[in-house]
């Protein structure tokens, strides 16, 4: 199995965010989507670094958008997931699902502690 | 209107982002920033900063990957720059990893480098570039040495007008030879009068220096020839005291009440012996006797002539003078005159002190390097798996060494940055100190380009020095053993432990040298402050009066001083008053003595003594003790038998075992025509040539019996309270007697003493600080090595405790082992301290460089610190739970 077919955790998160915005995602929207869903704060640098890696692997593609005054006249960069990206996400999920199969830890430790 | 994002962080984001990502990243940031600004601008700025800082790492990683991708396909391995940046990246990661370690290293390096930069900035400004002369190598002072008078080469108050004229008229190697006398003058202004240190010139020194006046012009030959009332002001006096008023030039200036024309302002940095005012000396050189040496000489070497040629010519002239005037003036036997660049002349005073301090900071930096190497070694041990893995993955030894070196140079560069900051503060401190010392140089101490270059070089060199040892050590780690086990007791471990112990020994040795140096100086300082000067220094005011020969001659001179001291004694607050040609520690007039009843022998060198002419009351005013006979009385007058007083040093050395009272002597040698003086008393010796010199033989004669030749005397006033407060009263008494008579060189004896001791005090203080810093560093080094060893030996110590070893036994074991390298270092340090201490000899007082008490106390302090530093880890070891310890792998 080649290196390019593995997805890291953050790569999955970013790629899923791109997919959920369905082609309308650009850097800022993607970052917000991640923050909204995970509740974790994410830096713009790490998002772009990961997006660049996903592009290199052929899992996502990008195009330049229109410049806007709100952005100091700078253009947006929009991202869209590619079929290879969808396959990779499915593979990752399938791998995790098969690993989870038959495992039951009971209620999560945080909630257990919270009630004791 | 929304405010712009924080500019610095925007720049940071711009610089860190890969060029291809710059536009969308900055755009995203700005877009969200503006949205957030609408809600809460302060929070928006915080958010922006956090985003940029958090993006630094990913941005840089992304850039590195771009670089790598670009290289892929071109070269097999990493490119030079690629691998360099990769090294830097690894290094930064390693530094972040261990923040405590990194801060200790950067802090100590910063202190070490900062101290070096500060001292170098002082050396640069004070020794290398003390004056702004365009051709500093051609500007020389001409000094004289008179072995017959016990006077070694000096460049201040050392030459007579006749000697200067000889050089000016005869020299073919020197041009623009000028001379000057110095004293205090008062400039009358609309506000309070300004006291300024003043030079009285024969010649235009600006031409000698090859410089133009800042404003106006220098003295013309005609003005000098006629002795016109013209003046120049120093740049600093003009700026600080007269508000840089350019309309002053050409106007009249009242100097001691006499109008002078201000013809110009001196260029900035032209400050000779701190003289703020230059005037033309109206008196003719022929008015001074050939042996009245109170002038300084400055000259310019002619084009194409070397300093050696100048000195060969001056030597030839000195020999001619010896032939021509040696009969009349004994001191010309073996005398010499020497030209030295003005830069060298003026840095002489503190050169030794500065170079000693420079050596000391060099030692401190070496110590910092040794300490850092030690800490790095300990840390490298933690990283040996990382190194082994890298080696296994094919990283060559060169690659590992270069990575580790990059890490250490990165650390030292950060230390260098901190060092520059500290040096800027340090240079400011030095400037403040200098402002109070009034050194005879005008260079500025600042962190300028040369200082920065030297600092950068020092920082990088330090990084390589302390990085090299652990780098090679770590890269030599045996691959197999490290990966298999934790590498216990492998040969690499043994050699590392040896290295660590050697580094501790080195640190201790360096710290010892610094501590001993500080201890020598502190010891000297204490001894010197305990020296009995032989007179009472408190509440003693001195000033100088020169009676013009046109006005006062013969009997009138002593009569004036007699009346003046009588009148001053009547001033409330003045307990007693007297005058003399010199007083401790101002000593410049030496004469040969000839005792009655001595056999004349041709090659015998005659005894030499300070010859001081005084008014009655001199000894009482100074508070000198009478040992036998009597002192001078007002009945000792021109007509009565000539009487002299010896000090104890003269009596002991020249009339050993005899009672001097009643003996006769001639002052100036066995000249048949010279009068005999009868010794009437012996007084206790004073430290007449400085506190750090033994009392010199001295003979005193009474002013009335010497006559009018001694027209330049110091007034000595013993006061009840603050001596300075009586100055107006003293001035008015002088003015009552002679309205035109200036007094100058006004000082309290305490001020004079403090000034003379300032170099010593500064050096002592600095060396003590460095010694303490060195001690702390050595203790840190010992502590880190001992706690490291304790960690390594956890299992062994656990076994010992399990087998019943007591806590004290364990502590003793650890401390004892720690002390071995300390003792080795102390012995080496003691061996080094003695020869290196030779450099301090000029500043030592009352002790030698092999002083056993000093060396022993330095050793005791070090060993004590070592015991304390190893005690903490030792205690930890002794409290170890053996079960835990044994389980640890």
Give the one of B32, B54, B59 whose C-beta lies nearest to A28's C-beta. Answer: B32
Position B94 pLDDT exceeds 70: no
| Residue B196 pLDDT level (bands cut at 50, 70, 90) | confident
For residues B717-742, give the mean pLDDT.
85
> Distance between CA atoms of B37 and B346, rounded to whole angstroms?
63
* Euclidean distance between CA atoms B644 and B592, whole angstroms: 14
| Closest by Cα among B778, B773, B772, B768 to B866 | B778
pLDDT value for B685: 92
pLDDT over 70 (residue B474): no
A69 vs B: CB within 8 A: no
Range among B105-109, B318-322, B526-530, B706-710 with highest mean pLDDT value: B318-322
Considering A76-90, B363-377, B832-846, the range whose residues carry the highest mean pLDDT is A76-90
The mean per-residue pLDDT over the stretch B624-653 comes to 92
A70: chain B residues, CB-CB within 8 Å: 30-31, 34
The beta-carbon neighbor of B59 closest among A26, A49, A75 is A49
pLDDT grade, residue B540 (50/70/90)? very high
What pLDDT band is residue B187 in, cutting at 50, 70 and 90?
A: confident
Which two three-digit tokens encode residue A56? 């290199």
- Is the predicted pLDDT of residue B149 greater than 80, yes or no? no
Q: Residue B412: pLDDT above 60?
A: yes
Q: Which candidate from B16, B18, B31 shows the least CB-CB separation from A71?
A: B31
Q: How confident is the model at residue B349 (pLDDT cuts 50, 70, 90)?
A: low
**Higher-confidence position of B321 and B602:** B321
Q: Chain A residues with CB inside 8 Å of B59's CB?
A: 45, 48-49
Per-residue pLDDT, B846:
77
A chain contacts of residue B32, beta-carbon cutoff 8 Å: 28
Q: Which residue has the higher pLDDT, B128 or B222?
A: B222
Average pLDDT over residues B663-668: 88
CA B503 to chain centre: 31
Looking at residue B440, its pLDDT comes to: 65
CA distance A97 to chain B (A): 30
The whole model's pTM is what? 0.62
Write the residue in A27, A41, A53 that is nearest to B28 by C-beta: A27
Task: Identify the band that residue B273 occupies on the pLDDT scale cut at 50, 70 and 90.
Answer: confident
The answer to whether residues B310 and B142 touch, using CB atoms and an 8 Å cutoff, is: no
B25/A45 Cβ within 8 A: yes
Nearest chain B alpha carbon to A52: B62
The answer, yes or no, to whether residue B290 has pLDDT greater than 60, is: yes
| Closest residue of chain A to B56, computed from CA coordinates | A45
Closest to A70 (Cβ–Cβ): which among B17, B24, B34?
B34
What's the whole-number mean pLDDT along residues B569-588? 88
pLDDT by residue (tens digit) across B676-716?
999 999 999 998 887 777 888 999 999 989 877 788 889 99
The residue of chain A nearest to residue B23, with distances taken between CA atoms, is A74
CB contact under 8 A, A28 and B31: yes
Which residues in chain B are closer than 8 Å to A76, comparing Cβ atoms?
A: 24, 27-28
Residue of chain A nearest B64, judged by CA positions: A49
Question: Distance between CA atoms of B855 and B537, rounded to whole angstroms?
Answer: 33
Structure token pair of residue B372? 């850092």
Write the DSSP assignment of B95-111 as a string of letters: HHHTHHHHHHHHHHHHH
Q: What is the ipTM of this complex?
A: 0.85
The 3-state DSSP class for residue B259 equals strand
**What pLDDT does A3 receive?**
42
- Average pLDDT score, chain B: 84
- The percentage of chain B sitting over the pLDDT mark of 90, rounded to a whole number, equals 27
Which regions of chain A are under pLDDT 70? 1-5, 108-116
| Contact between chains at B30 and A77 (C-beta distance less than 8 A) | no
The 8-class DSSP code of residue B127 comes to I
Contact yes or no for B29 and A44 at CB 8 A: yes
Which candidate, B124, B92, B109, places its Cα nearest to that of B417? B109
pLDDT, tens only, B634-646: 899 888 999 999 9
Out of B72-76, B146-150, B413-417, B432-436, the most confident range is B413-417
pLDDT at B205: 94
SS3 assignment, position B178? strand
DSSP B2-53: PPPPPHHHHHHHHHHS-HHHHHHHHHHHHHHHHHHHHH-HHHHHHHHHHHHH
């Amino acid at each position: 199995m080649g290196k390019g077919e593995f997805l890291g955790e953050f790569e999955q998160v970013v790629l899923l965010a791109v997919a959920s915005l369905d082609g309308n995602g650009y850097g800022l929207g993607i970052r917000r989507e991640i923050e909204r869903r995970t509740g974790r704060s994410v830096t713009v640098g790490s998002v772009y670094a990961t997006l660049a890696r996903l592009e290199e692997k052929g899992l996502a593609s990008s195009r330049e958008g229109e410049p806007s005054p709100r952005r100091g006249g700078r253009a947006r960069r929009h991202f869209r997931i590619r079929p290879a990206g969808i396959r990779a996400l499915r593979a990752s999920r399938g791998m995790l699902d098969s690993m989870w199969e038959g495992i039951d830890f009971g209620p999560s430790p945080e909630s257990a502690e919270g009630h004791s | 209107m929304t405010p712009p994002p924080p500019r610095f962080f925007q720049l940071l984001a711009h610089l860190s982002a890969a060029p291809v990502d710059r536009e969308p990243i900055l755009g995203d940031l700005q877009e969200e920033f503006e949205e957030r600004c609408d809600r809460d601008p302060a929070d928006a700025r915080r958010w922006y900063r956090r985003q940029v800082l958090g993006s630094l790492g990913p941005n840089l990683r992304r850039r590195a990957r771009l670089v790598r991708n670009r290289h892929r396909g071109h070269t097999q391995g990493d490119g030079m720059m690629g691998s360099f940046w990769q090294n830097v990246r690894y290094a930064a990661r390693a530094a972040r990893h261990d923040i405590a370690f990194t801060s200790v290293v950067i802090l100590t390096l910063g202190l070490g480098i900062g101290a070096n930069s500060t001292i170098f900035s002082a050396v640069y400004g004070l020794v290398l570039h003390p004056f702004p002369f365009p051709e500093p190598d051609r500007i020389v002072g001409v000094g004289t040495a008179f072995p017959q008078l016990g006077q070694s080469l000096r460049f201040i108050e050392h030459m007579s007008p006749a000697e200067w004229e000889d050089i000016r008229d005869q020299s073919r190697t020197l041009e623009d030879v000028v001379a000057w006398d110095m004293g205090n003058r008062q400039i009358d202004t609309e506000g309070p009068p300004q006291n300024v240190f003043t030079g009285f010139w024969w010649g235009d020194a600006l031409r000698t220096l090859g410089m133009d006046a800042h404003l106006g012009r220098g003295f013309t030959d005609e003005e000098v020839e006629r002795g016109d009332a013209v003046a120049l002001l120093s740049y600093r006096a003009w700026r600080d005291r007269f508000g840089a008023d350019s309309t002053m030039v050409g106007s009249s200036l009242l100097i001691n009440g006499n109008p002078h024309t201000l013809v110009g302002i001196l260029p900035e940095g032209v400050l000779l012996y701190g003289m703020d005012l230059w005037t033309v000396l109206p008196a003719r050189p022929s008015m001074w006797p050939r042996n009245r040496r109170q002038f300084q000489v400055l000259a310019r070497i002619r084009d194409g002539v070397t300093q050696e040629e100048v000195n060969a010519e001056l030597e030839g002239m000195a020999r001619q003078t010896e032939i021509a005037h040696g009969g009349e003036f004994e001191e010309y036997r073996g005398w010499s005159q020497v030209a030295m660049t003005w830069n060298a002349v003026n840095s002489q005073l503190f050169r030794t002190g500065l170079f000693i301090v420079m050596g000391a900071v060099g030692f401190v930096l070496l110590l910092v390097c040794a300490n850092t190497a030690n800490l790095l070694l300990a840390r490298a041990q933690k990283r040996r798996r990382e190194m082994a893995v890298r080696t296994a993955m094919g990283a060559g030894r060169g690659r590992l060494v270069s990575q580790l070196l990059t890490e250490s140079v990165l650390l030292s560069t950060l230390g260098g940055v901190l060092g520059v900051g500290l040096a800027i503060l340090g240079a400011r401190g030095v400037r403040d100190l200098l402002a109070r010392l009034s050194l005879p140089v005008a260079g500025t101490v600042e962190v300028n380009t040369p200082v920065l270059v030297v600092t950068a070089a020092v920082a990088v060199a330090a990084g390589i020095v302390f990085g090299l040892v652990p780098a090679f050590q770590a890269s030599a780690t045996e691959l197999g053993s490290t990966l298999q086990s934790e590498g216990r007791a492998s040969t690499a471990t043994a050699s590392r432990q040896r290295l660590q112990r050697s580094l501790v020994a080195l640190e201790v040795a360096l710290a010892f040298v610094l501590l001993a140096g500080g201890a020598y100086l502190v010891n000297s300082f204490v001894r010197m402050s305990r020296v009995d000067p032989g007179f009472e220094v408190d509440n003693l005011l001195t000033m100088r009066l020169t009676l013009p020969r046109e006005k006062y001659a013969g009997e009138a001179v002593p009569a004036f001083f007699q009346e003046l001291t009588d009148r001053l004694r009547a001033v409330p607050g003045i307990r007693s008053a007297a005058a003399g040609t010199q007083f401790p520690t101002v000593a410049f007039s030496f004469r040969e003595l000839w005792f009655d009843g001595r056999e004349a022998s041709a090659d015998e060198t005659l005894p030499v003594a300070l010859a001081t002419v005084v008014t009655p009351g001199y000894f009482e005013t100074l508070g000198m003790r009478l040992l036998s006979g009597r002192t001078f009385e007002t009945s000792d007058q021109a007509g009565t038998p000539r009487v002299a007083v010896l000090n104890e040093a003269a009596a002991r050395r020249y009339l050993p075992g005899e009672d001097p009272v009643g003996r006769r002597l001639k002052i100036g040698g066995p000249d048949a025509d010279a009068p005999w003086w009868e010794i009437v008393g012996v007084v206790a010796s004073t430290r007449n040539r400085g506190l750090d010199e033994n009392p010199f033989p001295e003979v005193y004669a009474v002013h009335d019996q010497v006559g009018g030749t001694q027209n330049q005397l110091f007034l000595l006033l013993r006061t009840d309270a603050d001596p300075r407060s009586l100055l107006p009263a003293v001035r008015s008494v002088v003015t009552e007697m002679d309205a035109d008579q200036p007094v100058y060189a006004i000082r309290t004896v305490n001020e004079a003493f403090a000034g003379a001791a300032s170099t010593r005090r500064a050096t002592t203080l600095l060396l003590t600080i460095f010694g303490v810093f060195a001690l702390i560093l050595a203790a840190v080094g010992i502590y880190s090595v001992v706690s490291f060893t304790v960690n390594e030996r956890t299992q062994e110590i656990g076994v010992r405790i399990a087998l019943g070893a007591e806590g004290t036994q364990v502590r003793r074991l650890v401390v004892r082992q720690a002390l071995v390298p300390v003792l080795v270092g102390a012995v080496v340090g003691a061996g080094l301290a003695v020869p290196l201490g030779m450099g301090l000899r000029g500043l030592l007082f009352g002790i030698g460089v092999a002083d056993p008490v000093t060396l022993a106390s330095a050793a005791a302090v070090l060993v004590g610190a070592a015991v304390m530093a190893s005690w903490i880890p030792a205690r930890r070891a002794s409290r170890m739970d053996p079960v835990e310890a044994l389980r640890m792998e």
